Amino acid sequence: MKQLITILLVVLTCGSVAHAQVASNPPYTLDQSVIAGGGGTSTGMDTATGGTLTLDGALGQPAAGTTSRGANLALTSGFFTAAPVIIPTAATAFISGQVIRIDGRPLSGVRLSLTGGALQTPVTTVTDREGNFTFPDLELNVIYLINATRKNFSFTAATTSTQTHAISLVGDQPGVIFIGTPRGRTFGGRVRQ
């Protein structure tokens, strides 16, 4: 009975050491399998007599030194179970805005084209009756270019006064404004002083 109590004390003492390979408490020596895994049968050696000790139904934690590998991480467990590997999903954002005439009225039927990032072909959308548009589910941390086109109009981005609007997308981007100016019209009349 004294041997069994001493073995249990060694098991409990070694259980607090996460990287113990061999535990020794003369006259007994227990290897890692005694403190790892729990349950079953573990063996040790009585160093004084050279005899073998057997411990049935040992309580313990999972085996130390188990390695779990994931995308960019390796986790080596001690006496705790490795946490499940959580793989993040790609975050997305949107770009939205409005196309208006030079006088501020909304302009419907404008075709907007988006290029950039991993897009193999341009993504297009058309403004609604209120001149609104949205490009949903876009990859973050990418530079996108937006162009607006419609017959008899030329367009400039309100913030840059250029035809193409460049956006470095780091989050949702609402409020992109394009201004449409009629073209191809001539005005006649007299100028009076």
Do the domain assignments include residue 129?
yes
pLDDT above 80: residue 38: no
* Higher pLDDT pick, 91 / 65: 91
Is residue 61 located within the same domain as residue 143? no
**pTM, whole model, 2 decimals?**
0.51
Among 18, 49, 76, identify where a domain stops: 76
Is residue 66 located within the same domain as residue 100? no
pLDDT > 90 fraction of the chain, expressed in percent and rounded: 43
Here the contacts of 36-41 (C-beta below 8 Å, separation 24 or greater) are 36/60, 36/61, 36/62, 36/63, 36/64, 36/79, 37/61, 37/62, 37/63, 38/62
pLDDT at 9: 42
Is residue 104 located within the same domain as residue 43? no
Among 45, 76, 107, identify where a domain stops: 76
Is residue 167 located within the same domain as residue 117? yes
DSSP letter, residue 150: B
- Contact predicate 81/62, CB 8 Å: yes
pLDDT above 90: residue 26: no
Distances (CA, A) of 127 to 93, 123, 137, 178: 19, 14, 18, 11
Closest C-alpha among 68, 9, 15, 65 to residue 38: 15
pLDDT above 90: residue 181: yes
Among 76, 106, 137, identify where a domain stops: 76
